[in-house]
Chain A
Amino acid sequence: MGLYSISKSGEVTRLSAETKRSWTSIVDDARLRDPNDCDIAPDGRIFFTDSTKRYDAHEWALDSIESRPTGRLLCYDPRTGKTTTVLEELRYANGVCMAHDGQSLFLAESWACSVHRYWFDGPKAGRLECVIRDMPGYPDNINRASDGTYWMAWLGMRTPSFDLALRHPGMRKRMTRRLPQDEWLFPNINTGGVVKFDESGRIVETLGDISGVSHPMVTSMREHKGWLYIGGILNNRIGRYRIPGADPEWTGPRSYWGAPG
């Protein structure tokens, strides 16, 4: 697991697979176990999340049962080739997306049901603000929308029984010892959707598949030329939604880097 680049000719290069080991950890936590989302700052630095130090990517959902803050926001600098840890102690660090100001990014913290804004440049550099707190569902990847707002995938819903289990750590511990994994209580990730929020964190639109028939557990989405493409890592389908009134010429790369040539 790590951060890779793919050239136009399909050549894959590993950029980073580790960050600095923390002083207090007994287990070597330098290694990346669950890199989840990345985005590129105007100066070329790549900000990306490593969701948890405790589980590999295919076991990501088990991290919800512990809900320990071991996620990190990392930064790979192509000028030095080094990866540094920017933020620590996040409860499943997930989506990363550059804000339109080019000085800050939005960061989803899945098990905390929150979205934060982090300034990596400019007068507010180093500041972290929570812009959405206490969501009824779990946030996942974040991408830019053509109207200056942001799309956020929503991977599942909180359930009263799971929220209550979080207040009973002993119960969760005994559950994992006395029951096989398939029987464990999970957050309800058989449902999902997409949320749109603006710069201030106000939710302006919600697209849901509450029954989870077509698109359970939406983990990523991307706007491209007037359509919103929807995917989930456990799904066998990619959805497409015509966004009413969206700019049919808008693409993500153009929003970041301007018109080619």
Chain B
Amino acid sequence: MIFASLFDVFRGKAVTIPPMDGALRPNTALDDSASEILEVSEPDNLCASAEHVFYSSGHDLMRLEGHGEGPAAAARFDAPISALACSAEGDLAVGLDDGRVIIRNGTAERSTLGPADFAGFACPTALAFADAHTLWVCQGSATHRPSDWVVDLMGKNASGSIWRVDLASRRCERVAADLAFPYGVLPDPQSGGVLVSESWRHRLLRMGGGNGAREIVLDKLPGYPARLSGGADGGAWLCLFAPRNRLIEFVLQEDAYRADMMRSIERDYWIAPALSSGAAFLEPLQCGGVKTMGIHKPWSPTRSYGLVVRLDPNLRPVASFHSRANGRRHGITSAVERDRRVFVTSKGGNAILSLPVMP
């Protein structure tokens, strides 16, 4: 082992990724056990107030109604919605792809924050209320919009930041910078800080608490983490919107090829993570993904995957729900627990799913 690494200089070091093991062992729960409660075009961010569950889909803010009824339109915006949050008091924070963050109550718009409030550029990827007057904002990048996330990832950027906004005074305070696409935020009432998913570095961080320290809570995740939400047991739900893939990690180290790819190839056909894959014949294919005897192997390397992880109150993974390479419910971007069920958006699979929560 020790001597083998001496040859890495000549033959190159093997590119490896963390395995899906332990609580992350693959299953087919998202495809087989989850019930599809709604077929929606690219549902993105779920959030729950005391009375309602909201979700975003493109420009539309929608409200999930009770049993058996279709969704109701709550609002429509002039830019795609990139993030959502509800406060306990019923306020709604809506992040838009053009950088605005709008705070509303019912149909009344209370205030709008723009890029000027966030040091010139805003990329709201996730929002969370700590209390009625405090909003946490994840800015994924200082140069790309939320919808341009793949450019930010393949450009190896780390310009994201975390902001604490005092809604009464409109004061925006940057709590952390130089993050590689923060894509989920969950307030931690004990420390007064937040739990943040740093997507391009595949880890969860805790920050913004009283002592000002930044702490790694969970790292070496086998996918790219997205939104976080609280669990009824004091734990959390973590969505991973795409899997890590050894070829993609290799391409991230191949600067000349990657630069050529980003310059000359349409984005959908890059060797890059995706919310869904396999629909277009111009997409890249890896050896293990070749269909054999009519079977697309579930273990095959893939650019898209479905994965929701349940974290216990100590933020250790205890259970996970998967849609594997041959599944359809890929690109899970958010989850929200309510009445012993967890609702999940499959942005790549165009569906909102519901899973029972085991005690």
**A residues at B contact (CB < 8 Å):** 61, 157, 159-162, 164-165, 167-168, 171, 174-175, 177-191, 210-212, 216-217, 234-237
B12 touches A178 (CB 8 A): yes
B235 within 8 A of A: no
CA distance A230 to B17 in the complex (A): 40
* Interchain residue pairs with CB less than 8 A apart (30): A61-B287, A61-B290, A159-B269, A160-B266, A161-B271, A161-B284, A165-B257, A168-B254, A168-B260, A171-B254, A174-B12, A174-B250, A177-B12, A181-B287, A182-B286, A182-B287, A182-B300, A183-B245, A183-B250, A184-B247, A186-B286, A186-B289, A189-B285, A190-B281, A190-B285, A212-B281, A212-B291, A216-B291, A217-B290, A234-B291
Residues of B contacting A178 with CB < 8 Å?
Answer: 12-15, 250
Asked whether B169 is an interface residue with its Cβ less than 8 Å from the other chain, the reply is: no
Check if A188 sits within 8 Å of B281, measured CB to CB. Answer: yes
- A168-B257 in contact (CB<8A): yes
* Given the contacts A164-B260, A177-B12, A185 and B293 also touching, CB distance less than 8 Å: no
- Taking a contact as CB atoms closer than 8 A, the residue among A161, A167, A235 that contacts B294 in the complex is A235
Which of B13, B256, B284, B301 has the most C-beta atoms of chain A within 10 angstroms of its own C-beta? B284
- Kindly supply a per-residue 1/0 record for chain B positions 274-293, scoring 1 wherever the CB is within 8 Å of any chain A CB and 0 otherwise: 00001101111111111111
Most buried by A among B12, B271, B285: B285
Query: Across the interface, do A182 and B260 meet the contact criterion of CB distance under 8 Å?
Result: no
What residues on A are CB-neighbors of B12 within 8 Å? 174, 177-178
Known: A160-B265, A235-B294. 11 other contacts (CB 8 A): A159-B282, A159-B285, A160-B269, A171-B254, A171-B256, A171-B257, A179-B246, A188-B285, A189-B290, A211-B281, A236-B293
A197 to chain B, nearest CB (A): 20
User: Which B residues lie within 8 Å of A174 (CB)?
Assistant: 12, 250, 254
Binding site secondary structure of chain B: loop
Chain B residues near A237 (CB, 8 Å)? 294
The answer to whether the Cβ of B314 comes within 8 Å of any Cβ in the partner chain is no
Residues of B within 8 Å of A212, CB to CB, are 281, 291
Is B190 in the interface zone, CB < 8 Å from A?
no
Q: Which residues of B contact A181 (CB under 8 A)?
A: 287
Quick check: is B264 within 8 A (CB to CB) of the other chain?
Answer: yes
Chain A residues with Cβ below 8 Å from B278 are 190
CB distance from A166 to the nearest CB of B (A): 11
The CA of A183 and the CA of B299, in the complex, are separated in Å by 11
Q: Mark each residue of chain B from 241 to 263: 1 if its CB lies under 8 Å from any CB of chain A, else 0.
A: 00001110010001011001100
**Minimum distance in angstroms from B293 CB to a CB of chain A:** 4
Q: Is B224 an interface residue, CB under 8 A from the partner? A: no
Whether a CB of chain A sits under 8 angstroms from the CB of B54 is no
- Distance of A16 Cα from B261 Cα, bound (Å): 45
Give the complex CA separation of A188 and B292 in angstroms.
13
Which of A159, A162, A183, A216 is most buried by chain B, counting CB atoms within 10 A of its CB? Answer: A183
Write the chain B residue with the least CB distance to A178: B12
CB distance from B281 to the nearest CB of A (A): 4
Whether A183 contacts B291 by the Cβ 8 Å rule is no
Which residues of the partner chain A approach B294 to less than 8 Å between Cβ atoms?
235-237
A94 CB, nearest partner CB in chain B, Å: 18
Contact of B270 with A by CB under 8 A: yes
Do the beta carbons of A164 and B287 come within 8 Å of each other?
no
B67 is an interface residue with CB less than 8 A from chain A: no
Q: How far is the CA of A61 from the CA of B291 in the complex (A)?
A: 13
Measured between beta carbons, the chain A residues less than 8 angstroms from B281 are 157, 159, 188, 190-191, 210-212
Nearest chain A CB to B308's CB is how many angstroms away?
A: 25
Closest 8 CB pairs of A and B: A182-B288, A236-B293, A161-B284, A160-B265, A191-B281, A178-B12, A183-B246, A171-B257
Residues on A with C-beta less than 8 A from B250 are 174-175, 178-179, 183
A183 to B13, CA, bound (A): 15
Chain A residue nearest in CB terms to B263: A164
Chain A residue with minimal CB distance to B260?
Answer: A164
Task: Given the known inter-chain contacts A164-B260, A184-B247, please indicate yes or no for A177 contacting B290, CB distance below 8 A.
Answer: no
Q: Which of B34-49 contact A (CB under 8 A)?
A: none
B132 to chain A, nearest CB (A): 49
Evaluate contact between B264 and A164: CB separation under 8 angstroms.
yes
Question: Which of B282, B285, B287 is in CB contact (< 8 Å) with A160?
Answer: B282
A184 to B13, CA, bound (A): 15
Contacts of A168 in B (CB 8 A): 254, 256-257, 260
User: Which chain A residue shows the least CB distance to B258?
Assistant: A171
Q: Which residues B129-183 have CB closer than 8 A to chain A? A: none
- Name the distance in Å between B289's Cβ and chain A's nearest Cβ: 7
